[in-house]
Structure 1
Amino acid sequence: MTTPDLDPPPLTTGIAGLNDILRGGFPADCVYMVAGTPGTGKTTLALQFLLEGVKEGESCLYITLSETRREIEKVARSHGWDLSGLNICELIPTEGNLSADAQLTVFNPSEFELGETTEAMIAEVKRCSPKRVVLDSLSELRLVAQNSLRYRRQILALKQYFAGRDCTVLMLDDCTGSVADDQLESIAHGVVNLEHLANQYGAERRRLRVVKLRGVAFRGGYHDFTIRKGGLDVFPRLVAAEHHNEFADRDLPSEITALDSLLCGGLPAGTSTLMLGPAGTGKSTIATKFAMAAVERNERAVMFVFDENIGTFRSRSRKLGIGIEPYMTNGMLSVQQVDPAELSSGEFCTIVRRAVEGHGGSIPAKVVIIDSLNGYLNAMPEEKFLTAQLHELLAFLGQNGVVTIMTVTQAGMVGAMQSPVDTTYLADNVILFRFFEARGEVRRAISVVKKRSGKHELTIRELEINDRGIQIGEPLIDFQGVLTGVPTFVGKPSDLIKQDRHGV
């Protein structure tokens, strides 16, 4: 009894994120279509696929029907690639096709062009015996074939030919030249669509989607990607259920005694905390104190700052006596300034994931701070997907034992507050910050209104931030209506942290 031949391993694409989406790469010895309008990155993806084959010692062939060899090499140089190990076949019209004699004939030129192009292609494949082939692009063949029947028959014939030669083929389609024809998608073993979206402001967004891949449980949906020096960087859509690690039950204290009393110990590992309040109430400063408490326990913390630059962050911390500099130097505290106009949500999720998983040899982060969700919201091309993506990101961080802290700046100063998005139900813990008026001064209040995994104080305490650091007073038991911003004070002046602006 004979055993059936095992399928060869998939061919890696040279793009880590795309390999993850395809569950390892393209299944070998099949024909695939990579479709997208001009500028989406098809040529770059194809070159990375071929150069990965060259690195594996395979013979690889790039057949171009539209661009010259010089143009392709120019693209490669922009990425720092060497194409010397790659076979490039140019099948583009020569200067002779521009003469008047070449254009005067009683026969349909397409009858000759299609046959000549196919013969030249086959001859080059026979000469190189490649394991990987890229055909760029199908729109040229579609134009030469002139009708969908001839075009489909030609692609079927090419597919049959390559199938007998143990060859993996990527056919690029720039979706130009005629009305879109979905027939080819049924012929190809797999289809990958590339898109780029122009926003009203900021950098354009690029994303890809695997439409089909026979016999493979690929990762569906849209996945963001960018093109930078070195090729495509693909950010697979985060699926939290696929990432779970065991972690110890512990609390992260702030090392501020009164705040830790409010939290009854600190922030539990694997939970997310939302710091909610108007601008200037101290949310970022308290978040920084939690980061410092982590690095002082030899745990790495990562801060993603959307609303201020790193210079301002350093200056503010220094003036408050928070010694961040040594830890930023040794890498235990990483502060990354994020420009929401230049970043997609998928890329941000991947950056956070890489920090938590310790990519690049760094220590895995145990504390992640997003300051603020308002900036994260602005990074989203479509606001309605923010909650779903944030839920997946928080679930991933929680399943890896990370303490996640997010700040949200509410509109308004006193009284009724409005949030840009309601995420309080997603967070495990909610710390509320408020301004209130007392004795002719604007003061700050802090309280814990939610803690899923344990008990917490229900009191409201006064918060003071100045050049002497952070102070949190005793519970404001002699105040009523603090959260409204205009409380009634029925206690003694000595119950307040601060007696006057200039006193001690």
Structure 2
Amino acid sequence: MKIKRVSTGSEGLDEVLAGGLINNRNVLVRGPPGAGKTIFGLYFLSAGVKAGEASLYVNMGEPQTYVEETAETFGLEAEEISFHNLSPTEEEFTEDSSYSLFESAEVEQPEFVAHLRETIADVNPDRVLLDPITEFRYLTSDERQFRTGILGLLDHLKDVDATVMLTSQASGAITDDDLQFLVDAVISLEVDEGSRAVTVSKFRGSSFRRGKHFYGISKDGLTVWPTLVPGKQTREVPAGTLSSGVSELDELLYGGIEQGTVTILSGPTGVGKTTTGLQFLTQAALGNKKGVLFQFEESQRTLQKRADAIGIPLQTALEDGQLSVVEIDPNEFTVGEFEHMVRETVSDGTEVVMIDGTQGFQQNLRGIEDPTSALLRVGRFLRAVGVSTFLINEVHNITGDFQATEERTSNLADNIVFLRHVEYGGEMRKVIGTLKMRTSDFERSLRELEITKDGIQVGDPLPQLRGILTGTPEWNPSGSETE
């Protein structure tokens, strides 16, 4: 039998939940003060209103006027939601007799319980929000009665075919382990300095996407950004290669970079990694391939000045609309928001992406706990959807022993092109070479790289130099292994 799904009101959270909540089941949304539990609940109820369903808000926390104002702030249908207020400060909530709140009909019940049952009967709700359910602890004399009471209420709402969301403010010494055991699904909200994340730890009868998924609450509303899943989306990659537009560089790569692959451009600061990547990116744009540069390291203005100075037609590509630059400033976005940008970029038909660079990726994004895993996830996603990807990776050694990458991401790369400073004859020079091309052969020799006012220039192979990767090469006039 096909499971009937119920939208949470958040497209992103529905995706995490494999399509939404299950009809006539219940879910606990838990988190610290200020995490947005009530807002999640209001989105849930509002989605019901939009679907033509009856929504009931059983309010045990904030004043109704505050809740209504919150709903109106986010453009939710507060006027269409039925409210039933049970303030924990009211006298009946402190009476000794309130322990019998959820006991059977044979036991005398307080007046407010009768009112709640009347409201449920009158509204006949399809969706119910109990916010916060933890206030019910004050209505019972011990934990057993609390658990029995919650089960009684949930059974009653199940009988009227309602889908129920409960919120729990669990923090400090207050726990909600018992509630997590009783409900069908558990969604936890976490608030750290600079980021918010939602995780699903339990969902009876359904699969769900594990791990942290970032969310945001702003004047534009509630947004959940599901973590990228490499391979979930796929796209056919047309056969062919990306040319750099520099014939000698293409020769080094035996024709260019195969489309749909991930290329790491690696080297120390100032060696020309970004410039080389920009050469590929603009050439692709001039060839009518849409591209996006995610810039973590410098401003677009600086990038354009550099491109103009060496004859790379970046401005033309930008004006034609085939290439765009997205600046990612420090602490502006969470890693979840960035992953969402990447996914939107792919949906918009982008064929080439460059991320400049891996150090900025690690330092600029909020909420990033494992930069390597996050970068691998983004790269694998882009490869799966057939996007040609360039990652600019900085290594710290200017000269000395060779190191391909520093973020343990070399296993992600289909291609590794390295650039290197070398000292020879009292001068600093640059060389470029290929360490790896997974899908084709490549030239094993190294070539001198120059960045001039006329653009990138790549020289002939350098068989006379030995020990280039050490940073202190030796000249061998014969070009052989021994002198």
TM-score (norm 2): 0.90
Any conservation in 1 of the 2:57–2:129 contact (CA below 8 Å)?
yes
Q: 2: CA distance between counterparts of 1:146 and 1:467?
A: 82
The separation in 1 between residues aligned to 2:298 and 2:76, in whole angstroms, is 37
Q: Which residue of 1 aligns with 2:452?
A: 466
Give the corresponding residue for 1:389. 374
* Equivalent position amino acid for 1:446 in 2: I
Whether the aligned pair in 2 keeps the contact of 1:12 and 1:26 (CA below 8 Å) is yes
For residues 230-379 of structure 1, the aligned pairs below 5 Å read 230-358=220-348, 364-379=349-364
Q: After TM superposition, give the deviation of residue 16 of structure 1 in Å.
A: 1.3
Change (3 A) 1:388 1:7: same
Q: How far apart are the structure 2 equivalents of 1:117 and 1:170?
A: 21
Deviations along 1:451-503, one digit per CA (max 9) or x if unpaired, are: 111111111111111322211111123322322222234569xxxxxxxxxxx
Q: How far apart are the structure 2 equivalents of 1:134 and 1:177?
A: 24
Supply the distance in 1 between the matched residues of 2:447 and 2:304 (Cα, whole angstroms). Answer: 27
Letter in structure 1 aligned against 2:355: I
Q: 2:191 aligns with which of 171, 176, 196?
A: 196
Question: Counterparts of 2:476 and 2:3 in 1: how far apart (Å)?
Answer: 80
Q: What amino acid is aligned across from residue 127 of structure 1 in structure 2?
A: D
Change (3 A) 1:316 1:117: farther
- Shift of residue 65, structure 1, vs aligned partner: 0.8
- Which residue number in structure 2 is paired with residue 406 of structure 1? 391
**What is the TM-score when the length of structure 1 is the normalising length?**
0.86
User: What amino acid is aligned across from residue 450 of structure 1 in structure 2?
Assistant: K
Aligned residue in 2 for 1:183: 178
Identify which of 436, 453, 476 aligns with 2:422: 436
Aligned counterpart for 2:160 among listed residues 144, 151, 165:
165
- Count of residues in Structure 1 that have an aligned counterpart in Structure 2: 470
Secondary structure at the aligned position of 1:328 is classed as helix
Deviation at 1:140, TM superposition (A): 0.9
* One-letter code aligned to 1:263: L
Change (3 A) 1:165 1:329: farther
For 2:204, the equivalent position in structure 1 comes to 214
> How far off its partner does 1:397 sit?
1.7
Per-residue CA deviation, residues 157-194 of structure 1 (Å, 9 max, x unaligned), is 11111111111110111115963142222321211111
1:134 aligns with 2:129: yes
- The 3-state SS of whatever aligns with 1:472 is strand
Q: Which residue of 2 aligns with 1:498?
A: none
Q: Cα deviations across residues 351-376 of structure 1 (Å, max 9, x unaligned)?
A: 21221122xxxxx1111111111122
- In the alignment, is the contact (CA less than 8 A) between 2:296 and 2:329 conserved in 1? yes
Judge which range, 319-328 or 187-196, deviates more. Answer: 319-328
TM-aligned CA deviation for residue 117 of structure 1? 4.5
Structure 1 residues 4-19: aligned runs within 5 Å: 9-19=4-14
Q: Which one of 11, 19, 23 corresponds to residue 24 of structure 1?
A: 19
Matched AA of 1:289: Q
Confirm whether residue 223 of structure 1 aligns to residue 213 of structure 2.
yes
In structure 2, C-alpha distance between the alignment counterparts of 1:382 and 1:77, rounded to whole Å: 30
- The 2-side partners of 1:253 and 1:465 are apart by 18
Partner of 1:500: none
Once structures 1 and 2 are overlaid, which stretch shifts more, 218-227 or 397-406?
Answer: 218-227
Distance 1:294 1:416 in 2: 34
- Say which of 53, 60, 63 aligns to 2:55: 60
Report the alpha carbon displacement of residue 285 of structure 1 after superposing the two structures with TM: 0.8
Partner amino acid, structure 2, of 1:400: V
Distance 2:6 2:180 in 1: 20
User: What is the identity, as a one-letter code, of the residue corresponding to 1:108?
Assistant: D
Cα distance in 1, alignment partners of residues 185 and 213 from structure 2 = 17
Moved more, 252-261 or 435-444: 435-444
Indicate yes or no: 2:28 matched with 1:40.
Answer: no
Q: Report the secondary structure of 2:135's partner residue.
A: helix
Task: Report the alpha carbon displacement of residue 8 of structure 1 after superposing the two structures with TM.
Answer: 6.2
Amino acid at match of 2:468: V
Paired residue type of 1:52? A
Secondary structure in 1 matching 2:22 = coil
Greater displacement, 73-82 / 313-322: 73-82
For the residues of structure 2 that align with 1:227 and 1:240, how far apart are their CA atoms? 26
The 3-state SS of whatever aligns with 1:88 is strand
The answer to whether the 8 A contact 1:237-1:346 is kept is yes
**Which residue of the partner structure matches residue 496 of structure 1?**
none
**Cα 1:289–1:117, aligned 2, differ >3 Å: closer, same or farther?**
farther
Q: Partners in 1 of 2:113 and 2:317 — Cα distance?
A: 63
- Counterparts of 1:208 and 1:428, CA distance in 2: 33
Q: Which residue identity is paired with 1:344?
A: T
d(CA) in 2 for partners of 1:232, 1:261: 51
Gaps in structure 2 of 5+ consecutive residues: 103-109, 479-483
Closer, same or farther in 2 for the Cα pair 1:175/1:383, shift >3 Å?
A: closer
1:196 Cα deviation after fit: 1.6
Deviation at 1:43, TM superposition (A): 1.4
Q: Which residue of 2 aligns with 1:108?
A: 96
Deviation at 1:263, TM superposition (A): 0.5
| Alpha-carbon separation, structure 2, partners of 1:338 and 1:468 | 29
- The answer for the alignment partner of 1:451 in structure 2 is 437
Separation in 2 of the partners of 1:75 and 1:466? 58
Residue 321 (structure 1) shift: 2.0
Judge conservation of contact 1:380–1:386 (CA < 8 Å) in 2.
no
Q: Conserved in 2, the CA contact under 8 Å of 1:35 and 1:193?
A: yes
- Computed over aligned residues only, the root mean square deviation of the Cα atoms, in angstroms, reads 2.6
Query: Greater CA deviation, 223-232 or 57-66?
Result: 223-232
Secondary structure, in 3 states, of the residue corresponding to 2:180?
A: helix
Judge conservation of contact 2:265–2:390 (CA < 8 Å) in 1: yes
Partner letter of residue 153 of structure 2? L
Q: What is the alpha-carbon distance in structure 2 between the residues aligned to residue 228 and residue 332 of structure 1?
A: 31
Shift of 1:329: 3.8
